Structure 1
């Protein structure tokens, strides 16, 4: 009897610890995408662990708890995937394809939970939806693993990336335990507890040092004679291939095109060019938008923003005003007025 109580205690401790750490991380995120996805991942693992442990010790648990736990299980894979995507990205906002991806996932989750509740369709949940959730989880694990391998997340000397790798390995272990252990949920509880506890320790150590959970790099400043040729190569690449017109352009993609590590490119921009990748793209896109406003003054503003590579009108207006000092509409009005005052200035000798 005592062993059963201890087993329940340690297994449930993983769930409670996960929910607590997830809440803390979300509160400390301050808009940081990687930290928020990490919080959501730990929350999903914690909820799923709690459901499994309670079901093992209390088989007559209300079916709504089973439904919540299985839904959290479905979201573990996507949360891990988007955590890796955010860590590899260059800004706070999701790319358009990621937004559509996430919207589709949430739509499926809401539709299934509302239209096909566990209480009314237990056979469907047990024999169709649960195996489907495990397969979807596996699919996201494989996709995240491919991203991690391409991102070299295991490189030594990079604690943030080791944290990502630890999350990936931990979720793989949890999935393997669920898939192979059947209803022995305490195994998953113990694994989840280990994963959450290790993650919590790493997070606390990072926060105590005053560093973000996922930092882009921690290297010394690159010498100017080394940085200048690579910054020039970057400028030539953007001019030649006009990559900045792609709204979904990411730092890893540009680094691969240049053939240099992502962290080095990020450091080149931050330390040597005194800008971030996000600001660098915004500058190029504003230049493109300025040319469109001058050459095609009748073009709708939404079309100008889209063709220049901006994902939203609010981003377009804020970036344009920051670079030019005026709004796009005011710039176009001034350019149009100048052309009207001197219509033949280009033909004068």
Structure 2
């Protein structure tokens, strides 16, 4: 193969390989924990086998004739898998898996009978076998689209948002292979494989994007507009003060909101809400107040440490941050605060008169 053909072969087959792995994962790892995922895995598995075999036979035409028909045989189940994927996604708990199993059993017998005819009359059924497979695929594509629109109107609960991208992708792959099989467009067989690869990666990106958004929305909406009850807030505040006083967590210059929430055994959202709504302070303000109070105590007690050393001792990671925070909270500088703690000689003398 030339370099261009090698690149086409690589990009055509890589999607089939990844689809095969994902299909095996959904079928045999997740098993029947989520029925729509099972049928999605079957769709990916059958399409991947078909795509992989079609690419290989295109670039290596000397393979035995039975191999392309194995790819067509796997494609026979793609349409039914899509149909039951749509139904199970909408019906969920009401979906009857036993009926779907019986349907697949009947379809397997039909495929076996047609395959037997092909073995007995190979010349007659050489083209008819492909027509039969594509005919079944066409029927179930139309049934899947029909079920989607009917069930989306009938079923009250909102279905998973990933159904439509899966359905649309299967329709696009179906159209790509149909147009190539009929000769309406002159594209080599790997074209359908490239379409499959692009749609596979596109759907994976859509899936993860939607999952990440849904997790973020759930986390944010869980605590938004929901004030912590007063009794619970008081318990949290007491626990927080005990932690700060006993363990002196504020002395850690790298302390983060998530670290403190972990110590509290609550979520970061709850801790942030507790500080902002119940104490009226941000996390940094709350921690810095403890640090400055500690610094003031050291200055009042006549600590032998230098001013900047006191800042490091109470948890600040720089002299400038300590000075600016001290002035913000105490409305004076550490040095002036220290000088204010020294009793004047005049005051001492007057007290002894």
Q: TM-score, normalised by structure 2?
A: 0.52
Deviation string for 1:149-186 (max 9, x for gaps)? 12339xxxx7x643211111111111111111137211
Q: How far off is 1:48 after superposition?
A: 0.7
* Secondary structure in structure 1 of the residue aligned to 2:162: helix
* Secondary structure in structure 2 of the residue aligned to 1:90: helix
Cα gap change, 1:162 to 1:123, in 2 (>3 Å): farther
- After TM superposition, the structure 1 stretch with the greater mean CA deviation from structure 2, 161-170 or 195-204, is 195-204
1:190 corresponding residue in structure 2: 194
2:142 corresponding residue in structure 1: 142
Q: How far off is 1:90 after superposition?
A: 3.5
Q: Choose from 102, 105, 126 the match for 2:104.
A: 102
Query: Is the contact between residue 48 and residue 70 of structure 1 (CA under 8 Å) also seen in structure 2?
Result: yes
Give distance in 2, aligned partners of 1:166 and 1:58. Answer: 33
Query: Is the contact between residue 118 and residue 129 of structure 2 (CA under 8 Å) also seen in structure 1?
Result: no
1:333 corresponding residue in structure 2: none
Q: How far off is 1:87 after superposition?
A: 0.9
Q: How far off is 1:99 after superposition?
A: 4.0
Give distance in 1, aligned partners of 2:143 and 2:125. Answer: 25
* Gap runs ≥5 in structure 1: 212-218, 221-349
2:4 corresponding residue in structure 1: 3
Using CA pairs under 8 Å that are at least 6 residues apart, name the structure with larger relative contact order, 1 or 2: 1
* Secondary structure in structure 1 of the residue aligned to 2:174: helix
Give distance in 2, aligned partners of 1:46 and 1:92. Answer: 30
Deviation string for 1:262-312 (max 9, x for gaps)? xxxxxxxxxxxxxxxxxxxxxxxxxxxxxxxxxxxxxxxxxxxxxxxxxxx
Query: Is the contact between residue 32 and residue 92 of structure 1 (CA under 8 Å) also seen in structure 2?
Result: no
2:19 corresponding residue in structure 1: 18
Larger Rg: 2
Give distance in 1, aligned partners of 2:180 and 2:101. Answer: 35
Cα gap change, 1:24 to 1:97, in 2 (>3 Å): closer
Q: How far off is 1:2 after superposition?
A: 1.4
* Gap runs ≥5 in structure 2: 182-186, 216-220, 223-353
Q: How far off is 1:206 after superposition?
A: 6.4
2:245 corresponding residue in structure 1: none
Give distance in 1, aligned partners of 2:124 and 2:175. Answer: 23
* Secondary structure in structure 1 of the residue aligned to 2:22: helix
* Secondary structure in structure 2 of the residue aligned to 1:184: coil
2:132 corresponding residue in structure 1: 132
Deviation string for 1:324-343 (max 9, x for gaps)? xxxxxxxxxxxxxxxxxxxx
Deviation string for 1:176-235 (max 9, x for gaps)? 111111372111001111122223334455677898xxxxxxx99xxxxxxxxxxxxxxx
2:80 corresponding residue in structure 1: 78
Deviation string for 1:14-63 (max 9, x for gaps)? 11011011112221244321110000001111111011111111111222
* Secondary structure in structure 2 of the residue aligned to 1:62: coil
Q: How far off is 1:8 after superposition?
A: 0.5
* Secondary structure in structure 1 of the residue aligned to 2:67: helix
Task: Give 1:1-349 correspondences, 5 Å limit.
Answer: 1-26=2-27, 27-91=29-93, 94=96, 97-113=99-115, 115-116=116-117, 121-152=121-152, 161-182=160-181, 184-204=188-208
Q: How far off is 1:67 after superposition?
A: 2.1
* Secondary structure in structure 1 of the residue aligned to 2:63: coil
Cα gap change, 1:125 to 1:8, in 2 (>3 Å): farther
Q: How far off is 1:116 after superposition?
A: 3.7
Give distance in 1, aligned partners of 2:66 and 2:47. Answer: 18
Give distance in 2, aligned partners of 1:108 and 1:64. Answer: 18
Give distance in 2, aligned partners of 1:18 and 1:70. Answer: 17
Deviation string for 1:124-148 (max 9, x for gaps)? 4432121121111111000000111
Cα gap change, 1:29 to 1:101, in 2 (>3 Å): closer
Aligned length: 207
